[in-house]
């Protein structure tokens, strides 16, 4: 107990030095040495910025029907002869500004992507630590379920959960609850990979000396798991979580495109592509293609960052 204040001061100092070390580290150097990663980080930041400040960046309110004018519908992008400078990327069938719709759509895509990965982590990480730490029947039950779930593509599981919830929630309820339901479906569909990584990390950490020391100090299991094992196994998990965000955004977009995700009243990028898809044949390509482009750029950027993180923090690949 007497030692405590000292260790706290020590940890502050440790934090400061580690911040300095990060800025001057191999990691920072490898980040700036990889132009693709820097570009990807910039693109991601741009999208996050667009999503957060959408109401400031555009005066259009694309999902408030009373502000829409059907006379403005089907205006092509600004570089087309019939374009209108006030609608940079043109307008859709209801006169919505495509650029503004993409900003608000990115917002919903990002929210669903981040929240569902968070949910997967909240399910997967505790299950992984507990099954790795205790082993025995808990471990076999959890890992058996994870194995079975891993053989089925997450998109199918998300579709099933989404379908069942729709059936249970009658009438208009599932339209208002669409976003939480989506987060729930995608979150439940993708926990096994996090549980697996955390479990294998826990199996390694469990046998180290500091855990033995904690045991001897009579630390209760929950404290060992949260205080000692978790900080040591969470790193690799967060790295795959980055790629997980990209996957979650794709799943969300796909479900919305199929018409079982976010409703058209507050569309995500996938819903926008679905709306625009009806007009591809009649030549109004911009309604669908720009949201497609935004989605692909966002996902590609997040994937590149994830790949870089994985390569940098996985010593095996170096």
Partner 1 sequence: MANFIVTRILQSAAVMFFVALICFCLFRYVGDPIVNMVGQETTIEDMEALRQSLGLDKPVLVQFAHFIAGALQGEFGISYRLQRPVSELIAERLPATLELVFVSAIIALTLGISGGLLTGIKRNAWYSRLVLALSLVGVSLPTFVVGILLIYLFAVTLNWLPSFGRGQVVDIGWWSTGLLTVSGWKAIILPAVTLALYQTTLILRIVRAEMLEVRRTDFIKFAWARGLAPRSVYFNHALRNTLIPVITVTGLQIGSLIAFSIITETVFQWPGMGSLFIHAVQFADVPVMAAYLVLVALFFVLINLIVDLLYFAVDPRLRMSAGH
| Positions in the binding site for partner 1 (CB under 8 A) | 148, 151-153, 155-156, 159-160, 162-164, 166-168, 246, 250, 253-254, 257-260, 273, 277, 280-281, 283, 285, 288-289, 292, 295-296, 299-300, 303-304, 307
Closest distance of CB 228 from partner 1, Å? 34
Q: Give the integer Cα–Cα distance in Å for 10 and 187.
A: 38
The distance of closest approach from Cβ of residue 1 to partner 1 in the complex, given in angstroms and rounded to an integer, is: 52
- Cβ closer to partner 1: 217 or 317? 317
Within its chain, how far is the Cα of 293 from the centroid? 18
- C-beta of 85 vs 171, nearer to partner 1: 171
Question: 134 vs 279, which CB is nearer to partner 1?
Answer: 279
User: In the block, which residue shows the tokens 């669903």?
Assistant: 112
> For residue 138, what are the CA distances in angstroms to 119, 135, 141, 143, 230?
21, 6, 5, 8, 18
Task: Report, in Å, the least distance between residue 304 CB and partner 1.
Answer: 8
Buried b (16+ CB within 10 A) or exposed e, 224-250: bbeebbbeebbebbebbbbbbbbbbbb
Q: Which one, 205 or 252, has the nearer CB to partner 1? A: 252
Closest CA to 255 of 155, 150, 161: 155
Of 190 and 202, CB closest to partner 1: 190
Q: What angle do CA 206, 207, 210 make, to 5 degrees?
A: 80
Lookup result for tokens 């479900």: 255
Residue 66 CB, nearest approach to partner 1 (Å): 28
Q: Closer to partner 1 by CB, 66 or 151: give it.
A: 151
- For the bound state, the minimum distance from the C-beta of residue 186 to partner 1, rounded and expressed in Å, comes to 14
Identify which of residues 22 and 168 has a Cβ nearer to partner 1 in the complex.
Answer: 168
Least distance in angstroms from the C-beta of 156 to partner 1 = 4
Alpha carbons 247 and 196: distance in angstroms, whole number? 17
The least distance separating partner 1 from the CB of residue 250, rounded to whole angstroms, comes to: 5
Tell me how far, at minimum, the Cβ of 260 lies from partner 1, in Å: 5
Of the pair 179, 269, the CB lying nearest partner 1 is at: 269
Q: How far is the CB of 39 from partner 1 (least distance, A)?
A: 14
Question: Smallest Cα–Cα separation from 101: which of 127, 64, 71?
Answer: 64
Long-range contacts (CB closer than 8 Å, 24 or more residues apart) made by 30-33? 30/308, 30/312, 31/308, 31/312
Measured from the CB atom, is 28 or 148 closer to partner 1? 148
CB-CB contact of 308 with 28 (8 Å): no
Q: What are phi and psi of 60, to 5 degrees?
A: -75, 145
Distance of CA 47 to the CA centre of its chain: 13
Question: Are the C-beta atoms of 261 and 271 separated by less than 8 Å?
Answer: yes
In DSSP terms, 91 is beta-bridged to 97
């Amino acid at each position: 107990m007497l030692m405590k204040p000292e260790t706290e001061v020590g940890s502050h100092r440790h934090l400061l030095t580690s911040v300095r070390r990060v800025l001057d580290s191999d990691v920072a150097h490898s980040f700036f040495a990889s132009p693709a990663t820097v570009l990807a980080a910039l693109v991601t930041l741009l999208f996050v910025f667009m999503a957060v400040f959408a109401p400031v960046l555009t005066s259009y309110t694309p999902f408030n029907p009373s502000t829409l004018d059907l006379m403005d519908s089907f205006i092509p992008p600004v570089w087309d002869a019939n374009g209108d400078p006030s609608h940079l990327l043109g307008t859709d069938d209801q006169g919505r500004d495509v650029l503004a719709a993409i900003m608000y759509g990115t917002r919903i895509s990002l929210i669903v992507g981040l929240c569902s990965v968070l949910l997967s982590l909240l399910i997967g990480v505790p299950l992984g630590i507990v099954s790795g730490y205790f082993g025995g029947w808990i471990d076999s039950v959890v890992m058996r379920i994870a194995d079975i779930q891993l053989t089925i593509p997450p998109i199918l599981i998300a579709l099933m959960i989404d379908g069942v919830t729709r059936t249970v929630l009658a009438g208009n309820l599932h339209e208002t609850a669409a976003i939480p339901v989506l987060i729930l479906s995608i979150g439940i569909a993708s926990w096994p990979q996090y549980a697996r990584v955390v479990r294998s990390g826990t199996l390694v950490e469990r046998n180290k000396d500091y855990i033995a020391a904690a045991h001897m100090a009579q630390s209760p299991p929950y404290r060992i798991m949260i205080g000692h094992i978790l900080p040591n196994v969470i790193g690799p998990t967060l790295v795959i979580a980055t790629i997980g965000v990209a996957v979650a955004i794709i799943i969300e977009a796909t479900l919305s495109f199929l018409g079982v995700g976010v409703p058209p009243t507050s569309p995500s990028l996938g819903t926008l592509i679905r709306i625009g898809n009806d007009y591809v044949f009649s030549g109004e390509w911009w309604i669908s293609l720009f949201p497609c482009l935004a989605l692909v750029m966002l996902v590609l950027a997040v994937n590149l960052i994830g790949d870089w993180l994985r390569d940098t923090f996985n010593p095996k690949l170096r």
